[in-house]
Amino acid sequence: MPNTPQQTPSQSPPLEEASATADKTVSPPIDESLASRIKAWGIALGFADVGITHADLSEYEANYFNWIGQDFHGDMEYMVRHGTKRTRPNLLEPGTQSIISVRMNYFDTQSSSAIEQLHQDQQGYVSRYALGKDYHKLLRKRLQQLAEKIADEVEGFQYRAFTDSAPVLERPIAQQAGLGFIGKNSLIIHPRAGSWFFLGELYTNLALPADVPFSKQGCGPCTACLDECPTQAIVDNQVVDARRCISYLTIEYKGSIPEDLRALIGNRIYGCDDCQLVCPWNKFTEDTLEVAFRVDSQAMPLINTLQNSTQVSASTKIKKTGHQAKHKSGNQLDQQSLLSLWHWTEADFLKKLEGSPIRRIGYAQWCRNLAVSIGNVHSADGETLMQLISALQSKQNVINDLVDEHIIWAVNRLQIQLDSAEKFETTRPGQTEQTETNASKKTRLNTLKPFIAPKYYQPKNKS
């Protein structure tokens, strides 16, 4: 799954991941070198790291159910339904003895600066993991290929592959497998790679030697993620209240966004990366080698070639991994204005976001999110404010009552700005037109809650 503060995917899909069907209760004999060979195969397939752990997650059970007991899961009832299957892998897949955990980098250093985009309040901000194609199919395919390679070597090997579509505690598994520590923002963080990566697992019937778990203490006294979270959703060390998390509100949550949180969402229309952008460990961020995760890959099929990216300059070559493909022009979701996105019809939404994880939330929720962010615009002049208000009203009574509610809220906020600004732009008889002073503009903007765009660290492009 994407290593983001949201606890689960935007929906609870059926348990339909690739799996072998034979009995897993008997582990086939293995040689001592198999674990190291599995890791080498995984790296060759494009995973940034591969680790192995046992199938005992009991030490995480109390914390998980305490989190559920405090209703921090919000409306994600599927997190309750599967009970202890999340913490006891054998209940989910009988016979599981070892778990192979993998991570795959997704951050595209060629994309527009996340910091700059968050400060451009008339642009829509999309979580970095969703700028490219949906990771589920690609990650599942690579896990399947890894499993098939193991099956070729080990008679009686049985497995089940997971890519964020079943009750699996991915982060505790990754921590136990040595892929990183769990940070205060609840994400897996690797000291040499940061946190911008996806996670996947193979539950197996092999009794493989387990790797040494990563140290559970990695953040030290740093509280950057807690301090900078726009909605203060990180309520304690490694504890996220999903009900306040912008990733949850814009992706998972289908209802009316609480009014006291709407202004804090700023221009974030799909997900939120603030706790990663501010994390000091992400100065070590690794660029993705998967072209499918790059910002301009939306309309591109998943293919495996040895071509270099055409977007990268001659002096900045991407390593040839066997998973590169020639870039095609996509939607440039890191450079779209809120107004241009608002003008998309449902047909546009479905066509332009084909293959994107954003498509899963549906057109109505997309418009709900956009309405909130348009209502948070504060840098527009009077003419632009009128354009935004007109655009919002053009979709009122068109989609559904939920969208209408957020449109009305946004229009009211923009109208407050417009009415206030007009007081400083009127021309009196015998006088030249007055312009708004910095002091008066500050007074006007203080009538609204501030747009949130904290001071982030931006990962540097690597040569």
Could you give the residue numbers annotated as active site?
Answer: 164
Q: Taking a C-beta distance cutoff of 8 angstroms, is the pair 46, 289 a contact?
A: yes
Give the pair of three-digit tokens for residue 382: 């009077």
The Cα 451–Cα 223 span in angstroms is 21
Give the pair of three-digit tokens for residue 89: 């892998």
- The three-class DSSP label of residue 449 is coil
Give the pair of three-digit tokens for residue 88: 């006891």
Q: Taking a C-beta distance cutoff of 8 angstroms, is the pair 373, 337 a contact?
A: no
- The three-class DSSP label of residue 342 is helix
Beta strands in 153-291 (DSSP E): 159-162, 181-182, 188-189, 197-204, 234-236, 239-240, 268-270
Q: Taking a C-beta distance cutoff of 8 angstroms, is the pair 104, 307 a contact?
A: no
Residue 50 phi, psi dihedral angles, 5° rounding? -135, 130
DSSP state of 258: P
Q: Taking a C-beta distance cutoff of 8 angstroms, is the pair 1, 184 a contact?
A: no
- Strand 268-270 to 125-126 pairing: parallel
Q: How many CA within 13 A on the CB side of residue 375?
A: 27
Q: Taking a C-beta distance cutoff of 8 angstroms, is the pair 101, 173 a contact?
A: yes
Handedness of CA 149, 151, 152, 153 (dihedral sign): positive
Q: Show the CA angle centred on residue 337, arms to residues 336 and 343, nearest 5°.
A: 100
The Cα 223–Cα 237 span in angstroms is 9
Residue 67 phi, psi dihedral angles, 5° rounding? -60, -45
The Cα 111–Cα 207 span in angstroms is 42
The Cα 350–Cα 344 span in angstroms is 10
Q: Which of 272, 308, 312 is nearest to 117 (CA)?
A: 272
Number of residues that make up the chain: 463
